Chains A and B, each alone.
Chain A
Amino acid sequence: MAKVKLPTKSPRVDMTPMVDLFSVLLIFFVLTATVRPQETAPIDMPFSVSEKTVPDANIMTVLVAKDNRIFFNIDNGPDTILKYRPKILSEMGRRYGIEFTPQELRRFEKINTSFGVPIQGMKAFLTAKSMQERAVVETGIPIDSTDNQLAMWILCTRAINPAAQTCIKGDAEVDFPVVRKVLDILQDKNVNRFNLITSLQAVEITEEEKPE
């Protein structure tokens, strides 16, 4: 009986378990995916043996690109209703006498990348449609003593979000005096604890290197 019946069945494979499995995988990846924001300036981070990971929220990052341009990045806070980014921008605008419209503030909240524009060029940065247009205005945040906008950003960030930790992400090949300048500015604002963002490199002291 069985021998006769089997060939009559259609040779179709039941796809349902496969679909189930794929659904689970897909949901997993969608939930764990942290969208990598595109940075205008590529930064090759130096290596270290540190195994601590970057916190998700409450960080402000000062980026130093290879061409010594300074970028800055802040997050929206651990909760989306906190809206730290637009708050900090409007605070910056207030200090520099620039009024940002609600649309611009919302746009600033959405663009989650670092920015390297002087505050005067921020409106052009926010209206830019593409990465290329944005890159034109990104000349780096001024850090001269006459026009120290980075210090102002740090001040505003800490005023809005007192829990913000400072991260510094520098290119491995950048000249140290530039980083030193950034550290100086931070220390002037009483930030003495920094997190240097690095990528992991496995270095272990082998047995023979250990002192006897």
Chain B
Amino acid sequence: MAEIAQVEEKQKGGKKKFKKVPAHVDMTPMVDLMCILITFFMLTTAFTKPKIMEIVLPEKIKKDENVEPPKIAKSRTLNIILGPENKVFWYPGIADDPKNPPPLQETDFSATGIRQVLLERNRALFKKVSAFNDDVLTGKIDIPRDSVQSAIRQLKRDDDTGPIVLIKAYEKAKYKNFVDIIDEMSICDIARYTFVDISWLEEGMVNNAIGAIPVTSTSSN
């Protein structure tokens, strides 16, 4: 391009040099202005849109409808209670005997905390989902990109060994903890989880657990 332009200029120069100089518009102020505008738009544009996390809560059972809440297997139930100060408590099964409550285990949101608990219980499904993901990546399973998610959803629906996680929040929990625990559910490919209200018995169990830890005993009142 540059060469062609040069040749043209030479010809032009040779012919018209003495007649007149082509009128040049000075573009520099325009360039300056554009620089400023581009900088302005670059800085004000929100490139990273915030992300969303979908959550579906079970429908509320209205008092007058007289519908039985769905029953779930006790052996598969895992209760997670969001505690104060980023603590997480969990226990398997059900707490229905006030005299002899199940022991609460304390853990946290780190990768070695609640995630290990969940992964340990959800091993079968987690392996299935990650094997499926690997197969899709390596091309062993030829499947359109759009249907990967629905295929994984189907895997989750068919699962009948993983835990049924009931998430409960102690009153001093933060919103962040709620988001974190739902995040852990998706990280660990938990198929069935829901959010339920905390019972008075579980509240008492958490109070006991906090009281037993000397450092945080002041925050329990």
Contact = CB atoms under 8 A, between A and B. Distances in A.
Nearest to B47: A32
Given A19-B30, A33-B41, A192 B54 contact: no
A52 B51 CA distance: 5
A173 B180 CA distance: 12
Interface residues of A, number: 60
B213 interface: no
A180 B167 CA distance: 13
Contacts of B186: 49-50
Contact of A26 (B41, B58, B59, B174): B41
Interface string B53-73: 111111110000000000000
Given A26-B41, A30-B41, A170-B175, A15 B51 contact: no
B175 A46 contact: yes
Contact of A209 (B31, B119, B183): B119
A179 interface: yes
A53 interface: yes
A167 interface: yes
B123 interface: yes
Interface string A169-180: 111111111111
Contacts of A64: 175
B173 interface: yes
A127 interface: no
A190 B109 CA distance: 31
B177 interface: yes
B146 to A, nearest CB: 14
B18 to A, nearest CB: 12
A211 B119 contact: yes
A29 B38 contact: yes
Interface of A is mostly: mixed
Contact of A12 (B24, B54, B127): B24
B130 to A, nearest CB: 7
B120 interface: yes
Contacts of B52: 50, 52-54, 167, 195-198
Interface stretch (A73-81, A111-119, A199-207): A199-207
A53 to B, nearest CB: 4
Interface string A1-23: 01001000000100110110011
B172 interface: yes
A172 B51 contact: no
B41 to A, nearest CB: 4
A21 to B, nearest CB: 9
Contacts of A203: 183, 187
B44 A54 contact: no
B151 interface: no
A33 B57 contact: no
A23 B33 CA distance: 11
Contacts of B123: 211
Interface string B4-20: 00000010010000000
Given A35-B44, A180-B169, A203-B187, A25 B38 contact: yes
A54 B53 CA distance: 9
Nearest to A206: B111
B156 interface: no
Contacts of B54: 50, 52, 193-196
Interface of A: 2, 5, 12, 15-16, 18-19, 22-23, 25-26, 29-30, 32-36, 45-54, 64, 167, 169-180, 183, 187-188, 190, 192-200, 203, 205, 209-211
Given A52-B51, A195-B52, 11 more contacts: A35-B44, A50-B51, A167-B52, A169-B50, A172-B179, A176-B169, A192-B56, A197-B53, A198-B53, A198-B179, A211-B123
Interface of B: 10, 13, 24, 26-28, 30-31, 34-35, 37-38, 41-42, 44-46, 48-60, 82, 111, 115-116, 119-120, 123, 126-127, 130, 169, 171-180, 182-183, 186-187
